[in-house]
């Protein structure tokens, strides 16, 4: 009998976590084989490996403990992959050589499957003097563009494309440009952005005082703190970025504040890390630990929780020794501190199963109690490991116990640490669990509320057809099994109806007993007022959160579910094979080429190339609008002949299809040449193909097809055509479905489990 509670769970396992040979044949015959593979790999570093393999298997069985995806997919495979999910890279030096050394390190890390975080505050601001070269600095955002281009080309282990987090201090002179970077929809698409907000800045915001923007003790500009805060809020309101990280609070509460300073986080923000720090993640499935769900005596099995947490901590500690690392600095950092991030998933389902409404004061109190139990068990398990295997190398009892996060820890736990040491410097973190929560039977994700009780998913079959299946939340499925057709009780709430401040209450309740941080998205209604939206962030600050991420669906960020609208009007002046939708002409079949076309030819001289490229774009007039119809690319350089002919034919074919073809520009501009790009007219261009894209973009602007640079579509609109009236959201780049959702700060596909952040 299958261990999977839902078809989607088995599909996620098969696609993401099941070990397969090079030819695609299955090595893991069943999910039990996957559990056995992981348990054996984690027990291999133990003296009594047989005993611990059995213990680890029991923890994994029936999805009670869920290691992060990297461990589940990579442990015991013999493949050269890291079992750590994410890294914060080294401090970026403020010089060209150091900056590009950092770029190389980032590429090597992402190649092995790690997401990365970077603090760009260390790079001098735009316009600052660069001594010795008689030039002004281009600023950190210009180098972020280079990182962004690199990330586009690096396909990490498995099928995951790398994710990146960029942070910048709120007092950096270029902070205003950083805040507004995502206004350009073509820029920094591979980055999540967060502002490092300090305690003095928040005090200045509340006092409506001045705020100095400073680099290396030089004041570049003075602004009103509240104006800068409002700029952060406005861009987050409109574009869902940047996020906010309360960096002074993070450092004050860090167990290792005596030996490290944190200035960046991993891509989803739940792991604030020092330079070369790594995040090792795993989650306790709270929904699997509820006794007698929906009964009057329903309760969390605290004894089972304690035992499971202790086993999970030992497994995660073993990963530090079993894993490979992209860089030796990352291995040294992990070995010196042995930090792990044990968290939870299925919390909202667990609350539903005992009758508590997510977001209520009762639910917040329960969350705090449960997280306290997890923290206590984690720290005591790590003390036991220290007695057996030794404390982490940088352990200093008095300094460690003086840290902010241990101030409210139980006295007996602190006494045990003082007497025996502790194996792992930090132990708890709540990570995004979008994919592993589906794998565990569609339990609620992390500490998020249930997103939707049920939805219809289209599944791609081997013959190319699509079937529909209902995907039901884990707790709702149990309710149906026990109660039949009885309506859901009033305490069942979901992310679409929950007030934003209830989200904050739950995040703050969990944060008290989490020594790292929490990945959580606070869903806000589209019609929330700007003042109420700002109050969400201020509440997060006032209630002790370490950061805040919101998502408000709108025309820019995309709606979770929306109804496509179409028109069947065909203007009399348009060709019979064309349909017009506003300003864009969509063709039901390609047009024949007229005898004559108007166009323009552009010369492109790529630095270092002997011969120039000549790019001709010809246009057709439809309904009074000038539209691109074909392109020709010519060069005397015979090395360019084959690819320029191929590019000519492919782009022309897309142009003749009609519609808004501006996505072609963005695809070309995103191409990164690993041999290096070039600086042209003061701007870094990542490849000659990107330069061609820029030329075509300039032509589209000149004929009025698009309004300006970066204003074209980012994806092919005709790839998203659905039946009139069908629900749709953003398109998944992995499966093409329309179920992309913001979950824990990361766009995640409910159909296939693909996540931008892994």
Residues 6+ apart with CB under 8 A from 480: 472
pLDDT, mean of residues 585-613: 73
What is the spatial distance between Cα 676 and Cα 250, in angstroms, rounded to a whole number?
37
CB 264 within 8 A of CB 119: yes
Q: pLDDT by residue (tens digit) across 119-131?
A: 999 999 999 988 8
Active site residue 270: yes
pLDDT digits (tens, 9 = 90+) for 662-688: 888 888 988 888 777 888 887 888 888
- Higher pLDDT residue, 406 or 745? 406
How large is the average pLDDT for residues 525-532?
94
Q: Which of 133-137, 527-531, 753-757 has the lowest mean pLDDT?
A: 753-757
Separation CA 306–CA 677 (nearest Å): 54
Q: What is the pLDDT of residue 300?
A: 98
Rg, Å, the chain Cα set: 27
Query: Does the pLDDT at position 179 exceed 60?
Result: yes
pLDDT digits (tens, 9 = 90+) for 721-730: 443 344 445 5
Higher confidence at residue 594 or residue 367?
367
DSSP string, 654-703: HHHHBS-TTHHHHHHHT---TT--EEETTEEES-HHHHHHHHHHHHHHHT
Listed residue (452, 472, 441, 445) closest to 345, CA to CA: 445
- pLDDT of 573 reads 34
Name the pTM for this structure.
0.78
Residue 369 carries which DSSP code?
Answer: H
* pLDDT grade for 557, boundaries at 50, 70 and 90: low
- Residue 442 designated active-site: no
pLDDT at residue number 539? 98
Which tens digits make up the pLDDT trace of 209-247? Answer: 999 999 999 999 999 999 999 999 999 999 889 999 999
Which pLDDT belongs to residue 156?
35
Query: Widest CA span of the chain, in angstroms?
Result: 89
What is the Cα–Cα distance from 129 to 120, expressed in whole angstroms? 18
Q: What is the pLDDT of residues 326-354, one digit of tens each?
A: 999 999 999 999 999 999 999 999 999 99
380 contacts 417 by C-beta, under 8 angstroms: no
**Considering the chain, what percentage of its residues have pLDDT values greater than 90?**
59
pLDDT at residue 570 greater than cutoff 50:
no
Give the DSSP letter string of 459-503.
Answer: EE-TTS-EEEEEEE-HHHHHHHHHHTTPPPPTT---TTTS-HHHH
pLDDT of residue 460: 57
Selected catalytic residue, list 270, 333, 630, 666: 270
pLDDT at 561 over 50: no
Per annotation, catalytic residue among 86, 151, 170, 268: 268
Domains detected in the chain: 1-85+280-453+489-523 (3.20.70.20), 94-264 (3.20.70.20), 558-564+727-758 (no CATH), 578-720 (no CATH)
Query: Would residue 752 show up in a list of annotated catalytic residues for this protein?
Result: no
Cβ-in-10-Å burial (0-12, 13-18, 19+) of 734 comes to: middle
Classified as helix, coil or strand, 541 is helix
How far is it, in rounded angstroms, from Cα 118 to Cα 87? Answer: 9
What are 430-455's pLDDT values in tens digits?
998 888 999 999 999 999 999 888 88
Q: How confident is the model at residue 7 (pLDDT cuts 50, 70, 90)?
A: confident
373 vs 146 pLDDT, higher one: 373
Q: How far apart are CA 312 and CA 283, in angstroms?
A: 9
Q: How far apart are CA 172 and CA 181, in angstroms?
A: 15
Of the listed 254, 266, 494, 618, which one is catalytic? 266
* Summary mean pLDDT of the chain: 86
Distance CA 628, CA 618 (A): 6
């Amino acid at each position: 009998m299958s261990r999977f509670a839902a078809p989607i769970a088995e599909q996620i396992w098969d696609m993401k976590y099941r070990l397969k040979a090079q030819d695609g044949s299955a090595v893991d015959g069943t999910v039990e084989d996957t559990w056995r593979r992981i348990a054996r790999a984690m027990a291999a570093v133990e003296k009594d490996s047989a005993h611990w393999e059995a213990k680890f298997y029991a923890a994994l069985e029936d999805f009670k403990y869920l290691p992060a995806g990297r461990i589940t997919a990579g442990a015991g495979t013999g493949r050269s992959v890291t079992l750590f999910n994410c890294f914060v890279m080294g401090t970026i030096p403020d010089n060209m050589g150091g900056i590009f050394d950092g770029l190389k390190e980032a590429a090597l890390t992402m190649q092995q499957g790690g997401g990365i975080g970077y603090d760009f505050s260390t790079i001098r601001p735009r316009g600052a003097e660069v001594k010795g070269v008689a030039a002004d600095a281009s600023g950190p955002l210009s180098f972020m563009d280079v990182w962004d281009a690199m990330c586009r080309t690096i396909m990490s282990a498995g099928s995951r494309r790398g994710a990146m987090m960029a942070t910048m201090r709120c007092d950096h002179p270029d902070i205003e440009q950083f805040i507004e970077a995502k206004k350009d929809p073509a820029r920094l698409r591979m980055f999540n952005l967060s502002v490092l907000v300090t305690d003095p800045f928040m005090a200045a915001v509340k006092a409506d005082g001045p705020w100095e923007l400073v680099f290396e003790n030089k004041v570049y500009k003075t602004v009103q703190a509240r104006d800068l805060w409002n700029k952060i809020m406005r861009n987050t309101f409109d574009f869902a970025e940047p996020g906010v990280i309360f960096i002074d609070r993070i450092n004050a509460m860090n167990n290792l504040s005596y030996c490290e300073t944190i200035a960046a986080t991993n891509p989803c923000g739940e792991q604030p890390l020092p330079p070369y720090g790594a995040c090792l993640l795993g989650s306790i499935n709270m929904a699997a630990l509820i006794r007698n769900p929906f009964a009057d005596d329903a309760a969390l099995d605290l004894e089972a929780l304690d035992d499971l947490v202790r086993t999970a901590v030992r497994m995660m500690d073993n990963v530090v020794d079993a894993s490979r690392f992209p860089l030796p600095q990352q291995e040294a950092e992990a070995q010196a501190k042995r930090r792990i991030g044990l968290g939870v998933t299925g919390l909202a389902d667990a609350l539903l199963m005992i009758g508590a409404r997510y977001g209520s004061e009762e639910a917040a109190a329960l969350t705090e109690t449960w997280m306290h139990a997890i923290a206590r068990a984690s720290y005591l398990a790590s003390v036991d490991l220290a007695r057996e295997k030794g404390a982490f190398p940088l352990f200093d009892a008095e300094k460690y116990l003086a840290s902010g996060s241990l101030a409210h820890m139980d006295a007996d736990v602190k006494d045990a640490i003082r007497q025996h040491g502790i194996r792992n410097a930090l132990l708890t973190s709540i990570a995004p669990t979008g994919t592993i929560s589906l794998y565990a039977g569609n339990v609620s994700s992390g500490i998020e509320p249930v997103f939707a009780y049920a939805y219809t998913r289209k599944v791609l079959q081997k013959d190319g057809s699509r079937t529909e299946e209902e995907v039901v939340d884990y707790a709702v499925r149990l309710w149906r099994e026990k109660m039949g057709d009885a309506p859901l009780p009033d305490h069942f709430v979901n992310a679409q109806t929950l007030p934003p401040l209830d989200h904050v209450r739950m995040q703050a309740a969990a944060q008290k007993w989490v020594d790292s941080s929490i990945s959580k998205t606070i869903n806000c209604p589209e019609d929330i007022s700007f003042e109420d939206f700002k109050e969400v962030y201020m509440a997060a600050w006032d209630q002790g959160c370490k950061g805040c991420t919101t998502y408000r669906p709108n025309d820019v960020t995309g709606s979770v579910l929306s109804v496509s609208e179409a028109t069947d009007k065909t203007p009399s002046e348009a060709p019979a094979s064309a349909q017009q939708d506003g300003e864009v002409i969509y063709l039901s079949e390609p047009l024949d080429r007229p005898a004559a076309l108007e166009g323009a030819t552009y010369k492109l001289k790529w630095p270092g190339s002997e011969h120039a490229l000549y790019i001709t774009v010809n246009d057709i007039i439809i309904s009074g609008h000038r539209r691109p119809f074909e392109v020709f690319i010519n060069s005397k350089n015979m090395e360019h002949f084959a690819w320029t002919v191929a590019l000519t034919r492919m782009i022309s074919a897309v142009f003749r299809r009609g519609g808004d073809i501006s996505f072609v520009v963005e695809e070309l501009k995103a191409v990164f040449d690993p041999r290096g790009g070039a600086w042209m007219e003061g701007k870094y261009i990542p490849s000659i193909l990107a330069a061609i894209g820029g030329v075509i973009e300039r032509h589209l602007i000149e004929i009025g097809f698009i309004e300006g640079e970066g204003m074209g579509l980012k994806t092919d609109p005709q790839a998203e055509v659905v039946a009139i009236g069908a629900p749709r959201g953003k398109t998944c780049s992995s499966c093409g479905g329309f179920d992309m959702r913001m979950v824990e700060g990361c766009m995640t596909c409910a159909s296939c489990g693909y996540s931008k952040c892994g």
